[in-house]
Amino acid sequence: MKRLFVKGNEAVAMGAIEAGCRYYFGYPITPQSDIPEYIAREIPKVGGVFIQAESEIASINMLLGASASGARAMTSSSSPGISLKQEGISYMSGSELPGLIVNICRSGPGLGGIDASQADYFQSVKGGGHGGYRIIVLAPDSVQEMYDLTMLAFDLSDRYRVPALLLADAVIGQVKEALVPHPYVAPADLPSKEWAVAGKQGRSDQRIVKSLYLGDGELEAHNWRLHAKYEELKKHEVRFEAYQTEDADFVVTAFGSAARIAKSAVMMAREAGLKVGLLRPVTLFPFPEQALSELADRGIPMLCVELNTGQMVDDVRLAVKCRVDVAFYGRAPGAGSLPTPEEIFKQIQKNMAAKL
Amino acid sequence: MTTQYKQVFGRPESLKDVATHFCPGCHHGTIHRLCAEAMDALDIQQRTIGVASVGCSVFLYGYFDIDVVEAPHGRAPAVATGVKRVRKDDVVFTYQGDGDLAAIGTAEIIHAANRGEAITVIFVNNTTYGMTGGQMAPTTLPQQRTSTSPTGRDVANDGYPIRMAELLAGLEGVAYSTRVAVDSPQHIIAAGKAIHHAFDCQVKSGGFSFVEVLSTCPTNWGMDALKANARVASEMIPYFPLGVFKDAACAEEGA
Ligand SMILES: Cc1ncc(C[n+]2csc(CCOP(=O)(O)OP(=O)(O)O)c2C)c(N)n1
Ligand code: SF4
């Protein structure tokens, strides 16, 4: 396969179309508009449908309808638009509908700015809407992963009937890098969508896609069933990158673009003779609790780096259960707030010195 | 000599044989029946997908023997858009109350209509929020008392009731927009024809069709069934005139 030089956002769009997504519903917002622009141009060529909806609320509900009808479908937006989609994501979760939601996260709160940010971590992994649910959250750190994880998101979402969110930011969305596109191969064991509405077509049973359960005990049972799926996800679908952690005395944890910068800092540390590693969660839900816990078993202190004022660090601390110190270095999102590798390297040195 | 009996009235196939939860005198049941009759007459039950809204009619799947998707409050036209784009050859309809369609879902209905989505919308206007206990709706009449307009709707504070059928008729994408009532046998027959025509529009010419049905909510109006029924003609029809406001794409098919 030849290498292409494309933007992260384009890689998402390419991966989605390659994975068989034929329905896209969205509303313009920076820094993700390259996704709808690419899809508006390309999806008609493969017989797909692109709708620019009147709002993010309408787009997520179009996704709900298309997904209820059994189609692979997606929407994309950036933070303020993702807030508007939360109602629909909650309904999709309650109705056990798959579907891909892409958040090219920008800075906030409110209108904030259009700079890279990881401030939507909590909203993504804790169930951003009402009612207590989880969605699959994947965090790419490169253009290649934007492509690969888009495909994976569809597969996981279809398999578990849980909505999937691809959480990236302005850096990963806008950067141009080499991409080696590869053909999509559907997992042979993906379940067929026998629950999808289709008109009864002579069936004796009705197909009903709903989230309302009023019968005695029904809703509680439904919630436990959803919970069991989240536990299955935790058991089988955790993905992370462990970089130079085998012999490490100190580990940096970070995801997405922050992890890219942190990795450079880890390399600097190695050059300076410090045994530092990086643990990068690729799935933010399910979270790599076990991998972090094992590092804590080895007594390895950590530094969590994020483009926010401290969110994932809570989950890292929960995973290590106070056995080791977890320091935090974050930069609140906004223009000019991306940390340099040197800055993170200094944090590594400072925190390692405090330990020795 | 043997007498031949022919059944002239029965339960439509598309409707399940169950008792509804609607209050006595509520028109939702009648409107359900008219939709089911249209599905039977057009022989589309096996390829119809309903989109339920949030309101007293949320249990659409409990009464219609068809596939159903439940939409969030107000979002049924967007959900139906997603369904219809995937299931192009199926018949897709939403069934929405006035709070659902004309307040929280105003953007979704206007834009689905404006895109000319090939769906049918059954809009039940009972001038109040039934399910939540009779609060003021966007269709509540001036001076009408509701639990959130206890001294009567004050247009200076609350604005005016919205005439949705007329409003949507002004959009290019709309093939058919009409307002009917089900408060008398004549009106029920006319309403049945309108609903039939609306589904037929979708089937034959793939247009967006909209039927506003004036309906009762005796429970929240604080009236018995007969008084509530009489209010449709005495108070609602004068403000919400019955009629066809647009019948463009389907005109040549004949009503
Ligand atoms: C986002 C949201 N807001 C409010 C509600 C509460 N709610 C349920 S039904 C309803 C309105 C029902 O009135 P209408 O649409 O006129 O239908 P009816 O019950 O009269 O048939 C409201 C406000 C809700 N379910 N979701
Ligand atoms: S509350 Fe009103 S709209 Fe709802 S079922 Fe009763 S009468 Fe009908």
pLDDT digits (tens, 9 = 90+) for A20-60: 999 999 999 999 999 999 999 999 999 999 999 999 999 99
Are A160 and A269 within one domain? no
A206 domain residue, yes or no? no
Q: Is the dihedral of CA A295, A299, A303, A309 positive or negative?
A: positive
Whether residue B12 is contained in a domain is answered as no
Q: Is residue A216 part of a domain?
A: no
Which of B87, B89, B104, B109 is the mutation pick for testing A, counting most A CBs within 10 A?
B87
Residue A337 pLDDT level (bands cut at 50, 70, 90): confident
- Note whether B69 contacts A71, CB cutoff 8 Å: no
* C-alpha distances in Å from residue A218, one per residue of A119, A134, A205, A214, B21: 36, 19, 20, 7, 19
Interface-testing mutation among A64, A205, A212, with chain B (most B C-beta atoms within 10 A): A64
Q: Which tokens in the block code for residue B73?
A: 């409050």
If asked whether residues A259 and A332 sit together in one domain, one would say: yes
Domain count, chain A: 2
Share of residues in chain A with pLDDT > 70 (%): 99
A144 within some domain: yes
Task: Note whether residue A233 is domain-resident.
Answer: no
> Among residues of chain A, what percentage have pLDDT more than 90?
97
Question: Residue A142: which CATH number?
Answer: 3.40.50.970
Structure-token pair, residue A30 = 């920076």
**Which distant-in-sequence residues (6+ apart) come within 8 Å of B243 by Cβ?**
B178, B179
Last residue of a domain, one of A154, A179, A204: A179
- Least Cα distance to A76 among A98, A111, A46, A105 occurs for A105
Domain at B54, CATH number? 3.40.50.970
> Is A164 inside any structural domain?
yes
For a ligand 1 pocket test, name from B129, B148, B164 the mutation site with the most ligand atoms within 8 angstroms of its C-beta. Answer: B129
Q: Note whether A13 and A118 are same-domain residues.
A: yes
Domain containing residue A339: CATH number: 3.40.50.920
CA dihedral for B181, B183, B185, B188, sign (positive or negative):
positive
B49-104, pLDDT tens digit by residue? 999 999 999 999 999 999 999 999 999 999 999 999 999 999 999 999 999 999 99
Residue B1 lies in a domain: no
Ligand 2 mutation target, pool B20, B21, B22, B231, most atoms within 8 A of CB:
B22
Average of per-residue pLDDT across A322-330: 97
Q: In Å, how far is B185's CA from the nearest CA of chain A?
A: 32
Digit-coded pLDDT (tens) for A184-234? 999 999 999 999 999 999 999 999 999 999 999 999 999 999 999 999 999
Q: For residue A73, give the chain B residue with the closest CA.
A: B82
Of B58, B61, B83, the CB nearest to A65: B83
Task: Flag whether B90 is in a domain.
Answer: yes
Q: Residues A262-270: what's their mean pLDDT? A: 98
In a domain, A158, yes or no: yes
| Rounded distance between C-alpha atoms, residue B205 and residue B36, angstroms | 21
Ranges of residues in chain B whose predicted pLDDT is under 70: 1, 249-255
Total domains, chain B: 1
In a domain, A68, yes or no: yes
Among residues A156, A179, A202, the one where a domain terminates is A179
Q: Of the residues A152, A179, A206, which one is the last residue of a structural domain? A: A179
Question: Distance between CA A176 and CA B220 in Å, rounded?
Answer: 60
Domain containing B84 equals 28-254
What is this model's ipTM? Answer: 0.96
N- to C-terminal Cα separation, chain B = 42
* Domain of residue A20, residue span: 4-179
Indicate whether A17 and A145 sit together in one domain. Answer: yes
Confidence at residue B254, expressed as pLDDT on a 0 to 100 scale: 44
Q: Would you say residue B17 lies in a domain?
A: no
Q: How far apart are CA A242 and CA B43, in angstroms?
A: 60
pLDDT at A293 over 50: yes
The reported pLDDT for the residue numbered B250 is 64
- Where b means 16+ CB within 10 Å and e means fewer, B105-130 reads bebbbbbbbbbbbbbbbbbbbbbbbb
pLDDT at A204: 94
Whether residues A250 and A163 fall in one domain:
no
Q: Tell me which amino acid residue A229 is.
A: K
Q: Residue A172: pLDDT band by 50, 70, 90 thresholds?
A: very high
Pairing of strands B48-52, B91-97: parallel
